[in-house]
Amino acid sequence: MVNIIPFKAVKPTRAIVGLVASRPYQSYTLDERESRMAYNPYSFLHVINPGYKYAQEVTGEERYKLVRNRYLEFKEDGVFVQDEKPSFYVYKIVNRQGQEFCGIIAATSAEDYEKNFIKKHEDTIAKREETFKKYLQTVGFNAEPVLLTYPDNCVIADIITETQKTYAEFEFTMTYRDTHYLWKVDDEETIATIQTEFSKMDTVYIADGHHRSSSSYLLYKDEKAKNPNHNGSESYNYFMSYLIPESDLVIHEFNRLIKDLNGLTKEEFLIKLDTFYRIENRGIMPYNPSKPHHFSMYLDGEFYSLYLRKTSYDFKTALDELDAQLLYKTILQPILGIEDLRQNNRISYVNGKHEMITIKSSVDSGEFKVGFGMCPSNVEQMKQIADEGLTMPPKSTYILPKLRSAITIYEY
């Protein structure tokens, strides 16, 4: 039983929402951040990068307090306004490739995360969880929803379709040429119907935002323990999510680039690969894998296809079937000596939206020695791995849509 509730979102005004909304802070280079803040006083980057006002870098608890101050200033100046009624929000993104994503922004239950009604497929890092929990406790708001996915539901789909026939509260296009639409759903009967449909679901799945989910859960545990009058209705019992149907989710792969061959010559490396794979030289033209358990490789100016020798690898779990895991277990770990995929600086990742020519360019530049391309996983694989209580290797999926911050804000 999945529990979602409406909430009173804090939102930019319609006139400036396109100026306020931003990508996640880490996705900008320093020059990009500086440029946007220099020319756009409404950018949410001013809130989450408060040291810009004083021309210095501010970190830790001091930064969190300044973020809180900048946020309150945006509210005082009328940049942000809070809705009067708890609402759900139908949110649609159309990207420049014409892909359309549409779902519901709601408050989801931290207790559901605890009970595994909200399932994860990635590991989280305890230090990052704790850091973001402290951030939330200090600033008192969250401006970017967790991306959750649910089984396609015709009742919810009909509500979303009918809602889109009405006047959109927001409609704006960002510099990346993706267009965003937002509709408020505050009719009590419609809200109740949406809640009922979600209550019939056994599980929803985290598509993107594992650390935000786990940090929100830690916040819930902390605040619940400190509150002798806890009754379950407090805002910390929930966190903001964007729920989209599984059919709307788009999953790309992350390809791998490696800086060296772990002391092996090219010939020695190919011989070791032969243990697990049938290898074919494909020449100088970019080559893409065509099916699961089939990889492309770029090495020394040439592309290769790698076909798994099925007798050399046992598939015992859903994780074993995942190509990112297969590549790790047969090549990256045993041959190239890469144990820790998160921390090892010999490996880099390129999301599958980029073509294999990106792999070629990176290797030809001399920065990397070899690159691997793979096919993307799918929603069913992601769900099965989560259902089995397993976790994918880092950078196994590049999931769309990518959300903007500060279109809706959830206050604690």
Q: Is residue 317 domain-shared with residue 273, that is, in the same domain?
A: yes
The answer to whether 400 and 95 have CB atoms below 8 angstroms apart is: yes
Beta strands at 10-12 and 146-150: parallel, antiparallel or unpaired: unpaired
Q: Is residue 160 domain-shared with residue 259, that is, in the same domain?
A: no
Mean pLDDT of all residues in 49-69 = 86
Beta strands at 302-308 and 277-283: parallel, antiparallel or unpaired: antiparallel
What tokens appear for 10 in the block? 């804090």
Q: What is the pLDDT of residue 239?
A: 98
Q: Which residues share a beta bridge with 87?
A: 7
Percent of the chain topping pLDDT 90: 85
Q: What is the pLDDT of residue 387?
A: 96
Burial class of 148 by CB neighbour count within 10 A (0 to 12, 13 to 18, 19+) = buried
Assign residue 116 a region: left if phi > 0, alpha if psi is -120 to 50, beta otherwise? Answer: left
| Integer angstrom CA distances of residue 242 from 100, 198, 210, 217, 269 | 14, 13, 13, 17, 45
Residue type, 227: N
Q: Is residue 59 domain-shared with residue 154, that is, in the same domain?
A: yes
Domain span at 145: 4-251+400-411
The answer to whether 161 and 152 have CB atoms below 8 angstroms apart is: no
pLDDT tens for 239-287 read 999 999 999 999 999 999 999 999 999 999 999 999 999 999 999 999 9
| Integer angstrom CA distances of residue 403 from 54, 148, 157, 269, 273 | 29, 12, 20, 41, 39
Q: Is residue 138 domain-shared with residue 50, that is, in the same domain?
A: yes
Backbone φ and ψ of 241, nearest 5°: -135, 155
**Owner of token pair 């101050």:** 69
pLDDT tens for 226-249 read 999 999 999 999 999 999 999 999
Q: How many domains does the chain have?
A: 2
pLDDT tens for 6-34 read 999 999 999 999 999 998 887 888 888 88
Q: What is the pLDDT of residue 353?
A: 76
With a cut of 90, say whether residue 363 has pLDDT above it. yes
Q: Is residue 158 domain-shared with residue 306, that is, in the same domain?
A: no
Q: What is the pLDDT of residue 372?
A: 97
Backbone φ and ψ of 290, nearest 5°: -115, -10
Residue type, 232: G
With a cut of 90, say whether residue 178 has pLDDT above it. yes
Q: Which residues share a beta bridge with 325?
A: none
| Integer angstrom CA distances of residue 189 from 103, 150, 184, 195, 340 | 18, 21, 14, 10, 51
> From CA 235, how far away is CA 222, in angstroms rounded?
13
Q: What is the pLDDT of residue 29?
A: 86
**Owner of token pair 């976790």:** 391
Beta strands at 146-150 and 238-245: parallel, antiparallel or unpaired: parallel
With a cut of 80, say whether residue 156 has pLDDT above it. yes
What is the chain's length? 412
Task: Kindly provide the residue ranges of all beta strands, DSSP E only, lying in 224-368, ordered along the sequence.
Answer: 238-245, 250-252, 254-258, 277-283, 294-299, 302-308, 347-351
With a cut of 90, say whether residue 160 has pLDDT above it. yes
Mean pLDDT of all residues in 109-123 = 95
Q: Is residue 245 domain-shared with residue 266, that is, in the same domain?
A: no
Q: Mean pLDDT over all residues of the chain?
A: 94
Q: Is 149 helix (H, G, I), strand (E, B) or coil?
A: strand
> From CA 370, how far away is CA 360, in angstroms rounded?
9
Percent of the chain topping pLDDT 70: 100
Identify which of 381, 412, 411 has the alpha carbon closest to the alpha carbon of residue 396: 381
Q: Is residue 240 domain-shared with residue 286, that is, in the same domain?
A: no
Identify which of 248, 253, 249 has the alpha carbon closest to the alpha carbon of residue 208: 249
Burial class of 286 by CB neighbour count within 10 A (0 to 12, 13 to 18, 19+) = middle
> From CA 25, how far away is CA 248, in angstroms rounded?
25
Identify the band that residue 97 occupies on the pLDDT scale cut at 50, 70 and 90. confident
Cis check for the bond before 401: say yes or no (omega within 30 of 0). Answer: yes
Q: Is residue 274 domain-shared with residue 361, that is, in the same domain?
A: yes
> Which secondary-structure segment (H or E) carries 82?
strand 80-82
Q: Is residue 375 domain-shared with residue 407, that is, in the same domain?
A: no
**Residue 369 belongs to domain with CATH number:** 3.30.1760
Q: Is residue 191 domain-shared with residue 325, that is, in the same domain?
A: no
Q: Is residue 37 domain-shared with residue 185, that is, in the same domain?
A: yes
Identify the band that residue 102 occupies on the pLDDT scale cut at 50, 70 and 90. very high
Q: Is residue 175 domain-shared with residue 279, that is, in the same domain?
A: no
* Helix, strand, coil fractions of the chain, as percent rounded to 5: 35, 25, 40
